[in-house]
Amino acid sequence: MKVLYSVEEIQLWRNQNSNLKIGFVPTMGALHKGHLELVNACKAKSDISVVSIFVNPTQFNDQNDLKKYPSSLENDLKLLQKANVDVVFIPDYADLYFGEEQLEVDIKDLDLKLEGEVRPGHFDGVIRVLSIFFRLLNPSLSFFGEKDFQQVLVVEQLVHQHFSQIQLVRCPTSREPNGLARSSRNKHLSNEEFIKAGEIFQVLNWFKNQVNQHNIKDTLLNAKEKLSNTFDVEYLELRDEVELNQVTDTLQNSRLFVAVKLSNIHLIDNIKIG
């Protein structure tokens, strides 16, 4: 496994491997089984697997959140070595963003909804860093988990408008045995909080089971009330899967999105409804 730290190193490596089908998994480290599932999907579809580890400051609107973001580089490298990853890229901010040319991307107001509303500027930062990575690596494929479904839609717009040679691969949300969507932020949860957090997925499934017999508005209100017993609910909304517009009268192509805070830890999830 090669570990590369500079833009110059990754450019040289890329030029030496220009004819190979490269799969790319971008991460912010603090790796867990969900990341490793993305890695396994990448290895199955690619000649060479590349994983980046970079906590991107431009996608944090809260500096305290950035400071608290978990880091475990030594363990991350052990996990990636065990998973037989070919290349790990660990740049620093100044080198990665030096001479950055920002791209104009029309993301169709996706940045103003759900996570975009509670974390202003978040998706601008995602676009900035992925534009740099895509230019440097020019991968054939890039892999993203559906836990961050809104992010997937944003990145699809970036790829469609500027990197049409890249195939974006959606991977199912990875879950803990209690249903909690796997996330690096889960490392901040105590054992008791971790157990409580399993209620998020339970309520999403309760909604899915109930909404066919009741109207959407009332079922959403009841589901939100259930969540409010344990969490500070930031949003619980039924949206379409393409533009994330609110759904009020049909379940076709709909998805339920949730964000809550538990002990000030931001947790998100979503499931397909129709």
Q: What is the DSSP string of the chain?
A: -EEE-SHHHHHHHHHHTTTS-EEEEEE-S---HHHHHHHHHHHHH-SEEEEEE---GGG-S-HHHHHHS---HHHHHHHHHHTT-SEEE---HHHHHTT--PPP---TTGGGSTHHHHSTTHHHHHHHHHHHHHHHH--SEEEEEGGGHHHHHHHHHHHHHH-TTPEEEEEPPPB-TTSPBP-GGGGGS-HHHHHHHTHHHHHHHHHHHHTTTS-HHHHHHHHHHHHHTTSEEEEEEEEETTT--B-SS--TTEEEEEEEEETTEEEEEEEE--
By annotation, the residues acting in catalysis are: 35
Q: How far apart are CA 86 and CA 92, in angstroms?
A: 20
- Phi/psi of residue 48, nearest 5 degrees: -135, 135
C-alpha torsion angle, residues 242, 123, 128, 92 (rounded to 10): -130
Which residue type does 162 have?
A: H
Q: What is the DSSP string of 96-136?
A: HHTT--PPP---TTGGGSTHHHHSTTHHHHHHHHHHHHHHH
